[in-house]
Structure 1
Amino acid sequence: MELMEKIWEMARNDNRKIVLPEGNEERTLKAAEKIVANSLAKVILVENEESIKTKAQELGVNLSGIEIIDPDKSDKLEKYVNAFYELRKKKGMTLEKADKIVRDPLYFSTMMVKMEDAEGMVSGAIHTTGDLLRPGLQIIKTAPGTSVVSSVFIMMVPDCEYGEKGMLLFSDCAVNPNPSSEQLASIAITTAETAKWLCNLEPKVAMLSFSTMGSADHELVDKVRKGTELAKQMRPDLLIDGELQLDASIVQKVADQKAPNSEVAGKANILIFPDLQAGNIGYKLVQRFAKAEAVGPICQGFAKPINDLSRGCSVDDIVNVVAVTAVQAQNIQK
C-alpha cells in the first residue's frame, strides 16, 4: 500500500475535526467536498457564510456534511477575543485590537484549534507561510521539549533506489531561513520522529553540507558539524550523522569511499538541509526533474497540528495535507 493510501486509511479510521480558514477559495471548496466524500475528516470552512455558499454554487460544490462558520456571526467570537487578549496582553494587546484581529479567518481558525473546537488547521492556498506561522506561534506555540517549528516534505520518487524505495523526508524546506546549530539539531530530531509515526520508517538522518566528514573547512560546515554533535547528544538512540554531501548520504558506493564508518551514509532516508535556500531549491528540483510527489510542507514542532500549503497547490494537495493533519491530531492524543 502506498504511503498516502495508508494515511487516508488512518484518517478514515478516526475522523478528526479540521478547520480550513480559506473557506471561499476555489481549490479549498473542491477539496472540502472530496475530503467529506472520502470520510477523511470533519471539515469546517471559515469565512463569510454567504460568500462560501455563493462560490460553492458557482463551482457546483456540494456543501453537505461541511460546517460553515462566519467569524462575525459566531457565538464564540467573544470567548476567542478574550482568550487571545489574555495570551497577548503582555505584548501590548488591547481588547479592541484583539476583537479586530480574531475576526480574521486565519486567526479565528487558529483560536478554534487553541480552544479545542477544532483539532487541526490547514491554510496556505492564498496565504503565505508567514501568514500561517504568525498566529501559530502567537497562539498555538511550540510543543513541550521542542525549541523550533520547522517543515518537512515527504518526497516519493518513482522508480528510485534511494531512501526507502524512493521515499525520503526533506527538512527544513519552508520555515527557517538560516537555522543555528541548535535549531538544526532540533529539526533533525523532530523530523526523525515524524518519519517514525507518520511514515513507519526507521530514521536514518543525514545532516547535509558541501563537505563530507571534514573534507572542507568553513564556518558553514562548522554549523552543520556542531548541529550533528548536538543532535547525537540529545538523542543517542537515533541514527544521525554528518556532515555529509548529498551523494555520500544516499549512494552507497560514494559513501563507502567518503564515509566508510558511517551507519547513515549511503542509506539516509531523511535529509536535513543546512538552510532554507538549499532546502527549498532541493525539494523543487527533485519534484520537477524526477517527477516526485511532494507531500507537504508538513509543519513540525507546534503544540497542535496546523499545516501550510503552497500557493500553487492542487485540490489533491489540499486533500492530502488535511489527511496528514488529521493523523497528526490522532498522534497528539496518544
Structure 2
Amino acid sequence: MSSTPSGEPHGTAALLVNPRGEYLLHLRDANKPHICDPGTWSIPGGGREGNETSREAIARELKEETGLTVPLEPFTVVDCHGPGAAEGRIQVYLGAWDGDADALPLSEGIMLRWFDARTTAHLTMCPWTQQVIDQHRALVDGTEPGPRLRTSAEVPAGQPGGGALLTIVGVHLYLERDGRILLGLRHPDSAFGASHHHFLAGHCEQESAVACLIREAREEAGLVLRAEDIELTHVVHLVDLPGSRPRLQLVFRAHRWEGTVEVREPEKCVSWGWWPTDALPEPIVPYARAAVEGIRAGRLYTEMGWL
C-alpha cells in the first residue's frame, strides 16, 4: 500500500457548479473491471497516490479527467462502498466553473454533462454523489444552515472542526505610482485566476495580516515593506458560489517600499505591470476590479456573491 498522509480520506472528488445551479456529472464506464459504481453518473475524482494530500490528489484527478484547473474548497466527507472503494471515505471539494462540457478532453468514462438537481433524481446516480448534491441543494435552498462538517472524531489532528464554515482571509498589496497600480498576470496553470491580472496576494497562515503581506511581497516580487508604511484601504467580503467558503479579502496600500519588482514565483505569476487605475487590463480577477473601483470612489467595503 502506498504511503499517504494519515487521517485524510483516501478518495477525493470535485463537485463543480455553474451559475445556473447545474452540476458537472461524469458517466462512469459500465463494463470496466474493478470500477466503483459502474454505469452510474458521478462526479470527477479518484484516490490519492503516494504521499499526496487530498487537495493535491483532486487537483491532479480533475486535470487528468477533465483538463480543468479551478479553485476548490473542502465541502464534505462521504462514505463509499463497493468494488474499488475499500477505503470507504471520500473528501469532496466544491468549485465553480461555467463552460461547455462537450468541449472538455474526456480521458475516462463515457461523457461529461451538466444537470440540475431536479434531473439528477431521474438518473442512475452513484449513491454518494446524489447525497453530496442533495446536501449542497439543501444549503443553497436554506433548509440547512451550512454544509456537513466532520465531527471532532472525523477531523484529522491539526484541522479545524465544529459547526461553522470558516472564512478564508486573503491579503492584497495595492501599490500606486504616478497614477498606476501594480498588477501581476497569473500563470495559465494557476489554481486561481489563471491568465487573469491580479494584485500581489496570499492567504494568512499563522501570522497577522500585515506580517503575511510583508512576507508575500518579499517572496513573490522581491519587495521590502515595513509595517508602519502599510494601511488598510479596502475590504471585499465574497462567496464564489452558494455553499462555497466565504472569503474576506483585505487590500492594503503601501505608501513606501524598497526594491525593484521582479518575478520570484513564475509558476504563479508570469509578469508584473503598472496599469492606470482608470484603464485596468483585461481579463482581471473580478473582486480585484471591485476593490480598485471602491478605492477610487473612497469606499472601504464591498460585498460580492451574497444572496
* TM, length-normalised to structure 1: 0.23
Decide which structure has greater strand share. Answer: 2
Decide which structure has greater helix share. Answer: 1
Larger RCO: 1 or 2 (CA < 8 Å, sep 6+) = 1
* TM, length-normalised to structure 2: 0.24
